[in-house]
């Protein structure tokens, strides 16, 4: 059997660091109440924590989980909590390295208004600043585009700077908004199918031939990933206009991210109910955290 390439070994190392944290986060549901001790190496036990967002840096390989109990860096072991405790319902990376946007509700000791509106970090989640709509908006769906920020808080809103907002007429409720900070193409996942915008969220069309996916992410302006509720994975090379069915994630998916690997291949990450998984073959197969 050939030895794994360096990108695969690096991915496995990151996964091993993060899987215990995912287990601690997902093992405890609202019905169970409290979490027991964290699995080996995480040093973190968190009650009722769910993963709402996943970000992987194509520059540094840093893997961040946005959860009910705050933001965690699972790149190293033990996993490190970043910043104050906030329920980060919406979460997305910006154009520049280390820039993140989030929304949701304040946690214990946070000091932020409820809901927290749009907040931004310029140091990869260590500190956050309030941008707008504090006490007004909890953006459950959030993404960044070339034109600005798009969020959904019972209304679809766009902002060129994260401070001033416009409301867009929309006849759908997105589960996920997926964009790329260097493009104006945006995908919205809905129970009826994928909605697609090529003007930064101002106008939308239905992708009639596309799958019905729950999660979506861009690895580049052209390459996108979609995951159905049952874990079936689809990829697109034309920014979501057409799709190809790939493999299946054998677990309940909570969040998805996609990046271009060092060899320019599509790498797909997914946070599942039992751990992080990764595909380094463009979605054909997925490996669990402890795979070699």
Neighbours of 95 (CB within 10 A): 11
User: Within its chain, how far is the Cα of 138 from the centroid?
Assistant: 16
| Angle, vertex CA 49, rays to CA 94 and CA 143, nearest 5 | 20
Note the pLDDT of residue 119: 98
Closest C-alpha among 181, 193, 190 to residue 150? 181
- pLDDT at residue 15, rounded to an integer: 40
- How does pLDDT run across 12-47, given as a tens digit for each residue? 334 433 444 443 333 333 222 222 222 223 333 322
- The CATH code that applies to domain 86-105+112-120+127-248 is 2.130.10.10
> By CB neighbour count within 10 A (0-12 exposed, 13-18 middle, 19+ buried), where does 281 fall?
middle
Residue 49: predicted pLDDT: 62
Q: Which residue has the tokens 């003007």?
A: 199
Query: What stretches in the chain show pLDDT beneath 50?
Result: 1-48, 292
pLDDT at 238: 98
pLDDT of residue 78: 81
Residue whose entry in the numeric block shows the structure tokens 């001790």: 37
Q: Specify which residues 101 forms β-bridges with.
A: 92, 120
- Residue of 251, 291, 278 whose CA lies nearest to 56: 278
pTM confidence score: 0.84
The CA distance from 163 to 272, in Å, is: 33
Quick one: pLDDT at residue 274? 86
Contacts of 219 (CB under 8 A, 6+ apart): 225, 258, 259, 260, 266, 267, 268
Looking at residue 289, what is its pLDDT?
57
List the chain domain ranges. 86-105+112-120+127-248
d(CA 288, CA 15): 8
């Amino acid at each position: 059997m050939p030895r794994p390439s360096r990108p695969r070994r690096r991915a496995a190392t990151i996964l091993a660091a993060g899987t215990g944290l995912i287990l601690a986060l997902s093992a405890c549901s609202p019905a169970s109440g409290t979490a027991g001790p964290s699995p080996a190496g995480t040093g973190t036990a968190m009650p009722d924590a769910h993963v709402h967002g996943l970000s992987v840096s194509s520059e540094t390989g840093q893997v961040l989980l946005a959860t009910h109990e705050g933001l965690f860096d699972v790149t190293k072991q033990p996993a490190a909590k970043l910043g104050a405790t906030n329920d980060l319902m919406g979460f997305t990376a910006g154009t520049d390295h280390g820039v993140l946007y989030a929304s949701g509700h304040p946690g214990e000791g946070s000091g932020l208004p409820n809901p927290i509106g749009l907040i931004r970090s310029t140091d990869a989640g260590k500190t956050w600043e309030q941008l707008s709509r504090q006490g007004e908006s909890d953006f459950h769906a959030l993404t960044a585009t070339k034109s600005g920020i798009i969020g959904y808080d019972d209304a679809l809103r766009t902002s060129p700077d994260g401070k001033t907002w416009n409301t867009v007429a929309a006849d759908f409720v997105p589960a996920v908004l997926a964009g790329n900070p260097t493009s104006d193409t945006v995908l919205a996942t809905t129970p009826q199918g994928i909605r697609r915008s090529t003007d930064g969220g101002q106008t939308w069309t239905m992708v009639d031939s596309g799958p019905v996916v729950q999660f979506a992410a861009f690895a580049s302006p052209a390459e996108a990933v979609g995951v159905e509720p049952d874990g079936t994975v689809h990829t697109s090379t034309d920014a979501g206009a057409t799709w190809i069915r790939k493999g299946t994630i054998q677990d309940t998916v909570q969040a998805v991210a996609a990046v271009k690997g060092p060899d320019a291949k599509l790498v797909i990450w997914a946070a599942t109910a039992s751990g992080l998984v990764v595909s380094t073959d463009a979605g054909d197969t997925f490996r669990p955290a402890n795979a070699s």
